[in-house]
Structure 1
Amino acid sequence: MSKLSQWAPRLLVVLGATFGLAACSVSIDGNDYKSIEPTFDINQFFNGQVRAWGIVQNRSGEVVQRFIVDIDGRIETGELILDETFTYGVGDGPKTRIWRIEQQAPGSFIGNAGDIAGPATGTAFGNAFNFRYEMDLPVDDTEYRVAFDDWFWAFDEQTMMNRSYIKKFGLVMAEVTIFMQRQE
């Protein structure tokens, strides 16, 4: 038996595992959205009343949460404040959250909320906005420190979509899909 035929099965297992792990991660390049209209302005969109409808899906695609979020946004001394109230149809989670978001430089933001571990960093990319942060996420009787890769895309001046990838060890463990609409 040749050395190649001895190593071939092992090589196939390693390659299969590598491709399998790569399929569990998501990599979005914000630069792809810089020239797409309409431009998403986080301060403009959230300054006022916004209603959002969302789901959380686990790794198997099962919907483990379904919720509505009412967001009362305002700008005070240059800081965007988002006062969020959650109502759950499936599953459970936080009832409220208050975000405080400040622009650091053109297209660069820092955000904080009570249940977020450390600051969230935000970057504007034309039509898209990316927020990255960590959170201690309760699951059953345990809490897990997870990373959120949170993407917003503007549809028009009144509507946008949000897609969050919840990651542990760089692998996507759950996905959140939210549609948001400004309220008059």
Structure 2
Amino acid sequence: MRLVLAGLLAGMAVLAGCTGKPALTDAAMTERDFALERFFDGRLVARGQFQDVFGTVRRSFTVQIAGDWDGERLRLVEDFVYEDGSTEQRVWTLRKVGPVTADQAWEGTAPGVIGVAKGQEKGDRFNWRYTIDLPVPSAGGETGVTRVGFDDWMWLQDERHLFNRAYMKRWGVDVGDVSISFEKR
């Protein structure tokens, strides 16, 4: 029985790892150029949800975002409110790295982020990768911390709308994804 269960779990892990994911080499969906500092400068609201690898929605949230681009750094103050009423704030500091080009590279930090987050703009999209210690509520009402890796993809839909899908891994295995819709105010 253990052998069958181990085989089933191994098969599920392989299938979860085979899911298609975006790439910067994918064809652009539009002629728009994503300028991260332009889109996130000002006030935004976002709504999203986390789904596990089986497709079950585990958590939904709303985020109020205040962005400030000063010409050198982009500061994002994200205030999360979850469906259970709990709240969380994350403050990002991002900077352009390397020469200014259409395919701009970025780096960023935030409390809980392990090391430096790295991102790349290309055409109408932005890819952001980082590892973070996320606060996660338990069934007993206490909050623990789980370390996960994010492979975050954003697509500029128009001047006021952005769609985001973030793929999450823990110990190198897919654990779910987050879908978020952003709107500039």
- 1:88 corresponds to: 82
Query: Aligned partners of 1:33 and 1:99: how far apart in 2?
Result: 29
| Deviations, residues 112-136 of structure 1 (Å, cap 9, x unaligned) | 1112111100111111100000011
Q: Where do residues 1-184 of structure 1 align in structure 2 (5 Å cutoff)? A: 20-25=12-17, 26=19, 27-34=21-28, 36-90=30-84, 92=86, 94=88, 96-105=89-98, 106=101, 107-139=104-136, 140=138, 142-183=144-185
Q: Is the 8 A contact 2:165 2:177 kept in 1?
A: yes
Deviates more, 1:137-146 or 1:59-68: 137-146
Query: Aligned partners of 1:33 and 1:74: how far apart in 2?
Result: 30
More helix by share: 1
Deviates more, 1:68-77 or 1:21-30: 21-30
Query: Aligned partners of 1:180 and 1:62: how far apart in 2?
Result: 22
- 1:10 corresponds to: none
One-letter identity of the residue aligned with 1:57: Q
Query: Aligned partners of 1:86 and 1:52: how far apart in 2?
Result: 9
Q: Is the 8 A contact 1:55 1:178 kept in 2?
A: yes
Query: Aligned partners of 2:178 and 2:84: how far apart in 1?
Result: 13
| TM-score under structure 2 length normalisation | 0.81
Moved over 6 A (4+): 16-19
| TM-score under structure 1 length normalisation | 0.81
Deviates more, 1:157-166 or 1:28-37: 28-37
Secondary structure (helix, strand or coil) at the match of 2:59 reads strand
| Deviations, residues 96-150 of structure 1 (Å, cap 9, x unaligned) | 1111000002311001111211110011111110000001124436433211001
Going from structure 1 to structure 2, the CA distance change for 1:161 and 1:18 (only over 3 Å counts) comes to same
Secondary structure (helix, strand or coil) at the match of 1:134 reads strand
Secondary structure (helix, strand or coil) at the match of 1:30 reads coil
**Unaligned 5+ residue runs, structure 1?**
1-12
Query: Aligned partners of 2:105 and 2:79: how far apart in 1?
Result: 26
Shift of 1:169: 2.9
| Deviations, residues 64-123 of structure 1 (Å, cap 9, x unaligned) | 2111111111113510000111112247462x1111000002311001111211110011
Larger radius of gyration: 1
Q: Give the total of aligned pairs.
A: 170
**Unaligned 5+ residue runs, structure 2?**
1-5
Secondary structure (helix, strand or coil) at the match of 1:44 reads helix
